[in-house]
Amino acid sequence: MNSSVHPAQVRNVKIDSPFWNRVVNLVRDSVLPYEWAALNDQVEGAEPSHCLANLRIAAGEAQGEYQGMVFQDSDLAKWLEAAAYSLSVHPDPELERIVDETIDLLGRAQQPDGYLNSYFTVKEPGKRWTNLQECHELYCAGHLMEAAVAYYQATGKRKLLDIMTRMARHIDSVMGPEPDKLHGIPGHEEIELALVKMYEATGERFMLDLASYFIDERGKQPSFFKQEYEKRKGDTYFGLNTRPESYAQNHLPVREQTALEGHSVRALYLATGMAEVAREKEDESLLAACRRLFDNLLQRRMYVTGGVGSTENGEAFTFDYDLPNDTAYAETCASIALCFFARSMLRLDLDGRYADAMERALYNTCLAGMSLDGKNFFYVNPLEVLPEASHKDPNKRHVLPVRPKWFGCACCPPNLARLIASLGSYAYSWAKGEAYVHLYLGGEARLGDGVALTVNTEYPRTGRIEITPSAGKYALNLRVPGFSQGNFELRLNGKSTAAPLNKGYLRLDRAWQAGDRVELLLDMTPRRVYANPSVRADAGKVCLMRGPLVYCLEQVDNGANLSALYLPTDSPVTETFRADKLQGITELKAMGKRAEQNGDEALYRYSAPRKTAVELTFIPYYAWANRGENEMCVWIKEG
Amino acid sequence: MNSSVHPAQVRNVKIDSPFWNRVVNLVRDSVLPYEWAALNDQVEGAEPSHCLANLRIAAGEAQGEYQGMVFQDSDLAKWLEAAAYSLSVHPDPELERIVDETIDLLGRAQQPDGYLNSYFTVKEPGKRWTNLQECHELYCAGHLMEAAVAYYQATGKRKLLDIMTRMARHIDSVMGPEPDKLHGIPGHEEIELALVKMYEATGERFMLDLASYFIDERGKQPSFFKQEYEKRKGDTYFGLNTRPESYAQNHLPVREQTALEGHSVRALYLATGMAEVAREKEDESLLAACRRLFDNLLQRRMYVTGGVGSTENGEAFTFDYDLPNDTAYAETCASIALCFFARSMLRLDLDGRYADAMERALYNTCLAGMSLDGKNFFYVNPLEVLPEASHKDPNKRHVLPVRPKWFGCACCPPNLARLIASLGSYAYSWAKGEAYVHLYLGGEARLGDGVALTVNTEYPRTGRIEITPSAGKYALNLRVPGFSQGNFELRLNGKSTAAPLNKGYLRLDRAWQAGDRVELLLDMTPRRVYANPSVRADAGKVCLMRGPLVYCLEQVDNGANLSALYLPTDSPVTETFRADKLQGITELKAMGKRAEQNGDEALYRYSAPRKTAVELTFIPYYAWANRGENEMCVWIKEG
């Protein structure tokens, strides 16, 4: 275990490439202002958030009832965190003023004992810490802690960090292993990873210990939430008392868990916290548990799009190889959480499998969570959609064929904003004498010890990545994505060169000279991808990927009834960059077949449907559902 | 429209063939006694029925609370009807004594005004006719009417017929088109078809008019149930007030409906009632509606097994071509109801499509509803089962991989018993100078005008059917099932002969001599069946049928993960009769392929799974789930 790897600081990374400029600018110029308006209930046609209104009531500066979900504070927290990242690299005095004012408001809403939560301050002041299962006090606190660290790192301003330090102390005074404290755990994990960030920012050891406590306590008393429910005499907020213990990963001590179970976002936030604590505490058994969970996820529970969570019921994992395409949940937040977990694992093991999973989730499910105009968002990311089924089959009601504006439970949009706004910290990391590049976003990165990298690329439009390292003696570790292993070229100052490839990373250890230029040429040939035959939903099917991008078929390009289409094994796939389509995509085409109705209307017949030749058009999955309601599918029958 | 076709009377048909003797004897010797024990709460390990207990309380002969479903009386009614059919052909003084005693008990439970319903008599005496949507008073009455007619036809005893005539008069005094009556309709259709049977048995015209009223009233006031709910101030029994109007087919006047919608059993009981009234009243527009509904069902909404109802949510139809295999509902009762509808349509149009659908439902879904030992019953009849999914995926919780003993809501077992016990009336019908054979069950049938047929066959084990008609001048109409059209042979007294084939029926119009012998040789070659390409769930797949029997793969014969199996287009299918297996089946085998895991545990890879040759074993669908919990599928990938 290498506990001295640091992700790049967001403020030290400038992202610059045609693919990512669009997304990063969209988040900064459209999503953040849009979300701020949403948090202030100013988006027409969207469900009101009540978020700021609740906080003003909590601060005693407005009258009214608390409205919205019990965890509404977290939407603001995620927005604040995203805004902080944005300010890190793109100064904006007006935005900074808004953030400062909001932090001041949070300070005024904080109670004298350090407690901060608008729901329990306004609506149920006597009931703090009585419903950890459902009421998200620790979850909201965790998100505000992440925002506090981000804003401190962005601006050096400590106010929110101090507010959340007081809240952390308050929590520490209420909960923990000591006999006189409440031996509780959060129903929705988040504070574990946030406390480690707070610890890294403040050096306050109690924060790490509290994170560690929450992790070790989980699963020790599987009936904790039930006891809590009985103490409340059956009072419930969401009816979560009927959920199995695995819903909140409380079925077993975390070190004994071998698969991510239950609510997918909770499970992945927990896993991220576990990895963070394992690193800080150099806890090998906790790390081993993290590795087991990640392996199971990669080998048995992840969609090809990096989506996770197979069922809407409990927004949850189900069982190994159960990856239905048309009833998938695959929440945007869960794939964001998968990126968190992967980033944390990459600090522990330099293993390209983690980066591959992160890239898969990022370029596909995370990006699909947002419309190309940044104004509409998916919560659920299916791999197959028939709009009529979404409208008429109650089991598919959650599978929306078009992105709505804003959700009453709006976890995904601000979560996506904070991911995109902090992408630099996922792309690079460093340790003494080592620089790591995990994602090829283009731009510049300043890492530790004066190491700086300039990356020039149009990836994933092309596979050419040019890196100019700053002078000095250090190893440059470049990830070769799984799709290109076995077929890539490395050049140093224009000449092909070799370097050791270990677990997906090339290592170039040199005394770098000013002007040195490294080129990595990845193989972006469109490829057929097959699922393990144990995945029933994908048996007999194939999908196309080009680089990290999963492709899909849409009705608007291919006509209705996508289930009648076939891609023959030997049909060549051609690619064309289409600047005019879907804000610039590489479109794939192949000759395929369509099964046709044979004459009459018989439902069953003794002859196979006739197949006619058709041209199939594939677009990147992230760009689907931007041209009106229509069918979509990722997997197509082969044959 | 030919309104003078009569189904054979049950008592005039003796069924005798190796295939059906097993089933018919099972129903008589095991199912009827087992169900009687269940109705009396004497089956260990099964949910108690409370059925007889409730009735004794209603008769004032026992103390206690009403227990069980609101429609518990109907379970007894269906059992009585089945017992009556059994007594028609198999005298059993002990059974007749039990039935007579039960009829006496029903007489004592009947109220002075003719009202008969144990729930409203015992539990909510003041609330008769206030919750037609949910409380099944008319449904229970309908089933008791069917039992009354069956027992009268079996024994000539009028007591139950008189009881139910009084109940019919009472209903007629409460409901109907007159301004001073309640303009109501049953929430669950059944009484419509039952009233026509009562009318046929008694000649009481008001019964036909009342049936006609219930049919014409449906959909006229789509908000009737809502108004009723409001009058009850929101009192609800099942929460059906939240269901759309189509749930109970009340969304449109029945003549304007073009597809069966909502709860599948309700929809098909209604359709049967419509066909019966259309025939009795020679109502062409009602008949046209029946034809539209049947066409839509056949062309877009029926599983290959004759199962109907695609979703568990509302036990309902969904939309055209939506026939998911692994979340199918396909209730046993719905396929039984499909047989009712088909039998009624065959009285109106001699069209083999109706008989084909009836045979499909009967030999597959209906028979699959019962275990081979007659002691366990399926309510839901999926076409694909993975036991782990049934246990862990909430959307598949209704898909049981093994048949349970008895249900709290036990509609299916007694419904199946009455279908099997009255099968003769589905197999034959007659009109002046015409004899019709729809199903080849073997045995003897006495039809009208002294016409009698002796049928000698092992169908569906073989395709050879030998018929000895009684002497006389009449036309013998023999159905050629859809699967054999274009390849069959007809022989008269040992010599090939020709006869006109019209809509699936051969017509031999002759002066029959004693000793004449007709042979029909059907083509029982196993055949590949394909679904219309609009059926997404079956795209790229094939299933096997042999004669009327749909086949399936079970894990016990083919190993785990049936979704990895393929049946090549050109692989020959061989058949073997296995007397030792599953109580005698014709087993099918073919060489197929199995997609194999390629080496490591990767979930996604760039090479197609390797396929190895395997022998595939197919068994008839009706015989599945008799060898412990295991995977099953009907459709297999082709290729």
Across the range B299-326, mean pLDDT stands at 97
Distance between start and end Cα atoms, chain B: 47
Write down the pLDDT at residue A2: 52
The alpha carbon dihedral of A366, A367, A373, A376 has a sign of negative
Cβ distance A261 to A314 under 8 Å?
no
Residue B539: exposure state from Cβ atoms within 10 A (0-12, 13-18, ≥19): buried
pLDDT of B580-623, one tens digit each? 999 999 999 999 999 998 777 899 999 999 999 999 999 999 99
Q: Do A602 and B300 touch (CB under 8 A)?
A: no
Buried b (16+ CB within 10 A) or exposed e, A368-377: bbbbbebbbb
Confidence of residue B414 (pLDDT cuts 50, 70, 90): confident
Across the range B340-346, mean pLDDT stands at 98
Asked if pLDDT for residue A474 goes beyond 80, the answer is yes
Helix, strand, coil abundance in chain B, percent, nearest 5? 40, 20, 40
Instruction: Give the tokens for residue A566.
Output: 């076939």
Close Cβ partners of B276 (under 8 Å, ≥ 6 residues apart): B192, B193, B196, B197, B211, B344
Tell me the chain A residues in contact with residue B308 when contact means C-beta distances shorter than 8 Å.
none
Asked if pLDDT for residue A1 goes beyond 60, the answer is no
User: Angle B51-58/B93-109 helices, nearest 10 degrees?
Assistant: 50
pLDDT of B356-375, one tens digit each? 999 999 999 999 999 999 88
| Check: complex ipTM more than 0.90 | yes
Distance between start and end Cα atoms, chain A: 47
Write down the pLDDT at residue B409: 56
Characterise B607 by phi-psi region: left (phi > 0), alpha (psi -120 to 50), beta (else).
Answer: beta
Cβ distance B552 to B588 under 8 Å?
no
B322 CB within 8 Å of a chain A CB: yes
Residue A442: exposure state from Cβ atoms within 10 A (0-12, 13-18, ≥19): buried
H or E segment to which residue A507 belongs: strand A505-512
Cα separation, B69 vs B61, in Å, equals 21
Cβ distance A176 to A211 under 8 Å?
no
Instruction: Give the tokens for residue B576.
Output: 């073997």
Cα separation, A434 vs A477, in Å, equals 7
Amino acid at A541: K
Residue B511, SS3 per DSSP = strand
Active-site residue A315, yes or no?
yes
Cα separation, B376 vs B263, in Å, equals 24
Write down the pLDDT at residue A67: 93
Q: Per mean pLDDT, which range of B20-24, B221-225, B471-475 is the poorest?
A: B221-225
Q: Number of A:B CB contacts under 8 A?
A: 153
Across the range B297-314, mean pLDDT stands at 97
Tell me the chain A residues in contact with residue B564 when contact means C-beta distances shorter than 8 Å.
533-534, 539
Catalytic site residue from A411, A543, A552, A633 = A411
**Of the candidates A359, A362, A366, A392, which has an alpha carbon nearest to the alpha carbon of residue A381?**
A366
- Rounded to 5 degrees, φ, ψ at A611 are -110, 130
Which residues in chain A (514-573) have CB-CB distances under 8 A to chain B? 527-536, 539-540, 542, 561, 563-564, 566, 569
Of B393, B529, B603, the CB nearest to A299: B603
**Of the candidates A354, A319, A325, A293, which has an alpha carbon nearest to the alpha carbon of residue A531?**
A325
Instruction: Give the tokens for residue B167.
Output: 């109940």
What is the total residue count of chain A?
A: 639
Tell me the chain B residues in contact with residue A601 when contact means C-beta distances shorter than 8 Å.
299, 532
DSSP assignment, residue B466? E
Residue B378, SS3 per DSSP = coil
Cβ distance A443 to A455 under 8 Å?
yes
- Rounded to 5 degrees, φ, ψ at A574 are -110, 155
Asked if pLDDT for residue B407 goes beyond 80, the answer is no
B597 CB within 8 Å of a chain A CB: yes
Write down the pLDDT at residue A407: 59
Buried b (16+ CB within 10 A) or exposed e, B505-524: bbebeeebeeebebbbbbbb
Q: Per mean pLDDT, which range of A107-111, A448-452, B295-299, B460-464 is the poorest?
A: A448-452
Catalytic site residue from B411, B543, B552, B633 = B411
**Of the candidates B306, B410, B323, B299, which has an alpha carbon nearest to the alpha carbon of residue B362?**
B306
Write down the pLDDT at residue B205: 97
User: How many angstroms from the chain centroid is the CA of residue B177?
Assistant: 32
- Rounded to 5 degrees, φ, ψ at B617 are -120, 125
Write down the pLDDT at residue B408: 56
pLDDT of A370-387, one tens digit each? 999 988 899 999 999 999
HEC per residue, B171-207: HHHHECCCCCCECCCCCCCCHHHHHHHHHHHHCCHHH
The alpha carbon dihedral of B534, B537, B538, B543 has a sign of negative
Write down the pLDDT at residue B238: 86
Tell me what the pLDDT averaged over chain B comes to: 95
Q: Do A392 and B639 touch (CB under 8 A)?
A: no
Q: Number of C-alpha atoms within 13 angstroms, CB side, residue B9?
A: 20
Buried b (16+ CB within 10 A) or exposed e, B549-573: bbbbbbbbbbeebbbbbbbeeebeb
What is the total residue count of chain B?
A: 639
Amino acid at A448: G
**Of the candidates A284, A306, A111, A275, which has an alpha carbon nearest to the alpha carbon of residue A193?**
A275
Write down the pLDDT at residue B2: 52
Residue B246, SS3 per DSSP = helix
Buried b (16+ CB within 10 A) or exposed e, B435-453: bbbbbbbbbbbbbbeebeb
pLDDT of A129-178, one tens digit each? 999 999 999 999 999 999 999 999 999 999 999 999 999 999 999 999 99
Share of chain A above pLDDT 70, in %: 99
Q: Cβ atoms within 10 A of the Cβ of B261, count?
A: 25
Cβ distance B304 to B550 under 8 Å?
yes
Which residues in chain A (34-63) have CB-CB distances under 8 A to chain B? none
Closest Cα in chain A, distance from residue B236 (Å): 22
Confidence of residue B283 (pLDDT cuts 50, 70, 90): very high
In DSSP terms, which residues pair with A528 in a beta bridge? A544
Write down the pLDDT at residue A47: 79
Closest chain A residue by Cα to residue B561: A534
Residue B533, SS3 per DSSP = coil
Asked if pLDDT for residue A480 goes beyond 90, the answer is yes
pLDDT of B56-75, one tens digit each? 999 999 999 999 999 999 99
Cβ distance B326 to B634 under 8 Å?
no
Q: Number of C-alpha atoms within 13 angstroms, CB side, residue B15?
A: 30
Structural Rg of chain B based on CA atoms:
25
Cβ distance A452 to A445 under 8 Å?
yes
Of A314, A386, A608, the CB nearest to B536: A386
Contacts 24+ apart (CB under 8 A), B54-58: B54/B118, B54/B119, B54/B122, B55/B105, B55/B106, B55/B109, B55/B118, B56/B105, B57/B118, B57/B122, B58/B109, B58/B118, B58/B121, B58/B122
Residue A551, SS3 per DSSP = strand
Q: Cβ atoms within 10 A of the Cβ of A17, count?
A: 21
Active-site residue A411, yes or no?
yes
Q: What is the biggest distance separating any 2 CA atoms in chain B, rounded to whole angstroms?
A: 78
Instruction: Give the tokens for residue A267.
Output: 């499970």
Residue A224, SS3 per DSSP = helix
B298 CB within 8 Å of a chain A CB: yes
Q: Which of A296, A604, A610, A634 to mutate to test the interface with B (most CBs of B within 10 A)?
A: A604
Cα separation, A7 vs A12, in Å, equals 10
pLDDT of A569-588, one tens digit each? 999 999 999 999 999 999 99
**Of the candidates B625, B459, B619, which has an alpha carbon nearest to the alpha carbon of residue B544?**
B619
Structural Rg of chain A based on CA atoms:
25
